[in-house]
Chain A
Amino acid sequence: MDSNASLIELRGVSKTYRKAGADVRALDDVDLSVARTGMLAIVGLSGSGKSSLLHIIGAMDRPTSGSVTVTGQPLDAVPESALAGFRLRTIGFVFQGFNLIPNLSALENVMLPLEFAGVAPKERHDRASALLVRVGLGTRLKHRPSELSGGEQQRVAIARALANDPPLVLADEPTGNLDSKTGQMIYGLLREVSLERTVLVVTHAEALAQMATRVVHLKDGRLETKS
């Protein structure tokens, strides 16, 4: 794949952790290119290194070796102090546990990244409302996470991930805490989102992963399937 056309480029990425006095190789010489739109599912068993890969792509962790380029920006050239800004502009995160702020309403949760980006209050409100309407929560704007179902909370999290219109959405086991029907609905939503940006989903649910436009498998830190 031409790197100019890729949103994400990983070359020889390895990650080694020190755990209980021993080195654990979470990622081993991973090469990966991801297109600018579409949904990529990274599938693997627990401990296969898929979350490590997601964290490295999401600028939350650094590789031990190799290079990572996201939206043309080599991440090793981005200083620690600028990583938060990079994530804010470039990446939307969706977590397995939703990770919403419990004392904020759905609307306020979605407005948070906009506030960090310095968007004016009125625009924040309008954009966050529109996103929640888009994910089907137009009537639940004022509800707090505890007043929403798991599926609704994950939809709020997806709306939050889209708040700053990032080119990349990273989802870490987004259906791990949901029943299969709700999981399918969330995947459907992510699939829809991926029409205009890249959605990278980490999962161990093979069946749901098949909804993605591309699936790669990780085993013992190495990519098994490249398609």
Chain B
Amino acid sequence: MIAFGLRNALRSLPRFALVAALIGVPFFLLLTLHAIGRAVDAYSERLLHGVNDTLQIRAAGSMGHLNMVAQSDILQQRIFDRVGQLPHVAKVEPYLLAMTPTEGHNFAMVVGVEPGDARRLESHGEAGSPRIIAGRDLMDSDRGNRVAVIGQGFARWARIDAGNLAGAELTLDLRRTHPVIFALDRPATKLSIVGIYASGYVFGDMQLFMPLDTFREIYGVPRGVSWLFVKADSAANVPLLEQRLRTEFGSEADVVAPVSAAEFQTTTARAVHRLTAAGMGISALLLAVVVYFVMLLVVRQRAREIGTLKAIGAPNRSIVAAFLFEALAYALTGGMLGLLSLLALGAPVAQKIFGPAIGPFVPAQYKDTLLQVLSISTGVDAERMTILVGAVALTALAGSAYAIVQITRLSPLQAMKHG
């Protein structure tokens, strides 16, 4: 009866195609939303990596921004040199930061980092490692060169086209001021923009990274650092290390455990997860509803056949198996169609449709930009196939449950009369 059920699904090819398409759409939604949820997870993991085992040191009471009013004190070089020698320190990453006005009361951040170190985003706590969306990242060979990677928001403001980075330049005018930015008596500098990144939130996209050596040269800061990120050899040793740093440098430096970034990201990820889970639930419901109506229609259309089968002695289990496998054939074909649609359209649809749709439900600084930073994976893997197969089986079972109850309750006579 399995083969019989599968053949029944193919009785009318146009109807089979229509049903598969009707099932394929919610499957596509389900798989795409799952892909978004997974991308958010991966993004969160990336952001949180380096937070749980990392501490930040700044000059006491200062943001460490070279040209920010009342926040321009930086850490002395000896602290940088000393921190690296402390026990349980796995890595020290120095940052230099300055601000540059953009328009109105807005400004962008300019950051010097060692190429290869994590590019953490100001204003978003200290998490993050933005994704390059055009051009390339900083490399070791860039040290000392006037090159930079820039956030997509900053690039938009500077009219730098992501599609054409050849010859893209940005001029940093250190004399420009702003209510909280004072002028630096340094010459304006042109930087070649070699890459554009997306951070996932508005503030993070208004930032520029250049090699630390280049920053020192442009801003005239041969020694000292704005921030030090101190990576412990394990998350378990962070409290010990924090205590040691406070003991050693407490009078001249603030030691910050960047848990706020983790909490912030976790909260945002949770919001997106709720949305995608709700969307997946609605998609699954849609799937079951489509299969429900299709199978109800099929049972009504074939009532006489059901009656005939019962009359000639078919046990209920055989008839049920045939209809169940027919429902499975519909659901599986719809599922494969949904998967193929995901492969072909998943990423662009997620960006173009789900991004703006999810935007209003996440914190403002994520609006419109969150989906841009996510790497939506549309490949076929074990997890996705498990979800697909599970959804196919559940959809076929749940959607055809009522039809199956009807089949088992119908007497042969009733069935043949209905037919």
Q: Which of B1, B304, B312 has the most CB of A within 10 A?
A: B312
A61 to B7, CA, bound (A): 31
A99 CB contacts on chain B under 8 angstroms: 304-305, 308, 311, 416
Q: B15 CB to closest chain A CB, in angstroms?
A: 13
Binds B, one of A25-33, A109-117, A176-184, A198-206: A109-117
B90 CB contacts on chain A under 8 angstroms: none
B309 CB contacts on chain A under 8 angstroms: 101, 112
B313 at the A interface (CB under 8 A)? yes
A88 to B310, CA, bound (A): 9
> Residue-by-residue, is B1-28 near A (CB-CB < 8 Å gives 1, otherwise 0)?
1001001100100000000000000000
Contact of B411 among A60, A85, A101, A161 (CB under 8 A): A60
B318 CB contacts on chain A under 8 angstroms: 115-116
B1 CB contacts on chain A under 8 angstroms: 115
A61 CB contacts on chain B under 8 angstroms: 411, 413
**Known pairs A112-B309, A115-B318, A116-B312 / 11 extra A-B pairs, C-beta < 8 Å:** A84-B316, A89-B313, A93-B308, A97-B304, A99-B305, A99-B311, A99-B416, A116-B313, A116-B314, A116-B315, A161-B312
A164 CB contacts on chain B under 8 angstroms: 313
21 contacts between A and B (CB under 8 A): A55-B413, A60-B412, A60-B413, A84-B315, A87-B311, A87-B313, A88-B312, A88-B315, A92-B312, A95-B311, A95-B416, A97-B304, A99-B308, A99-B416, A101-B305, A101-B309, A102-B11, A103-B7, A103-B11, A104-B4, A116-B314
A125 to B100, CA, bound (A): 85
Number of contacting residues on B, CB 8 A? 21
B416 CB contacts on chain A under 8 angstroms: 95, 99
A91 to B75, CA, bound (A): 97
Q: B2 CB to closest chain A CB, in angstroms?
A: 11
A153-199 at interface with B (beta carbon < 8 Å) = 160-161, 164
Q: Which of B1, B313, B314 has the most CB of A within 10 A?
A: B313
> Residue-by-residue, is A76-95 near B (CB-CB < 8 Å gives 1, otherwise 0)?
00000000110111011101
B356-392 at interface with A (beta carbon < 8 Å) = none
A49 at the B interface (CB under 8 A)? no
B313 CB contacts on chain A under 8 angstroms: 84-85, 87-89, 91, 113, 116-117, 164
A38 at the B interface (CB under 8 A)? no
Q: A200 CB to closest chain B CB, in angstroms?
A: 14
B411 CB contacts on chain A under 8 angstroms: 60-61
A164 to B314, CA, bound (A): 12
B273-313 at interface with A (beta carbon < 8 Å) = 304-305, 308-313
- In the complex, the chain B residue whose C-beta lies closest to that of A164 is B313
Evaluate contact between A95 and B412: CB separation under 8 angstroms: no
A95 to B413, CA, bound (A): 12
Evaluate contact between B308 and A95: CB separation under 8 angstroms: yes
A55 CB contacts on chain B under 8 angstroms: 413
Contact of B310 among A84, A91, A103, A115 (CB under 8 A): A84
> Residue-by-residue, is B218-231 near A (CB-CB < 8 Å gives 1, otherwise 0)?
00000000000000
A63 at the B interface (CB under 8 A)? no
A58 at the B interface (CB under 8 A)? yes
> Residue-by-residue, is A101-133 near B (CB-CB < 8 Å gives 1, otherwise 0)?
111100000001101110000000000000000
- In the complex, the chain A residue whose C-beta lies closest to that of B316 is A84
B305 CB contacts on chain A under 8 angstroms: 99, 101
Q: A95-B308, A99-B304, A99-B308 are in contact. Are A112 and B413 (CB under 8 A)?
A: no
- In the complex, the chain A residue whose C-beta lies closest to that of B10 is A103
> Residue-by-residue, is B388-415 near A (CB-CB < 8 Å gives 1, otherwise 0)?
0000000000000000000000011100
A161 to B313, CA, bound (A): 10
A164 to B313, CA, bound (A): 10
Evaluate contact between B311 and A58: CB separation under 8 angstroms: yes
Q: B302 CB to closest chain A CB, in angstroms?
A: 9
> Residue-by-residue, is B163-179 near A (CB-CB < 8 Å gives 1, otherwise 0)?
00000000000000000
Evaluate contact between A93 and B315: CB separation under 8 angstroms: no
Contact of B312 among A97, A102, A103, A160 (CB under 8 A): A160
A116 CB contacts on chain B under 8 angstroms: 312-315, 318
Q: Which of A60, A84, A104, A161 has the most CB of B within 10 A?
A: A84
A207 to B1, CA, bound (A): 41
Evaluate contact between A84 and B314: CB separation under 8 angstroms: yes
A200 to B318, CA, bound (A): 28
Q: A85-B313, A164-B313 are in contact. Are A101 and B308 (CB under 8 A)?
A: yes
Please give me the 9 A-B residue pairs with the lowest Cβ-Cβ distance, nearest first. Answer: A88-B313, A99-B308, A87-B313, A60-B412, A93-B311, A116-B314, A103-B11, A60-B413, A113-B312
B11 CB contacts on chain A under 8 angstroms: 102-103
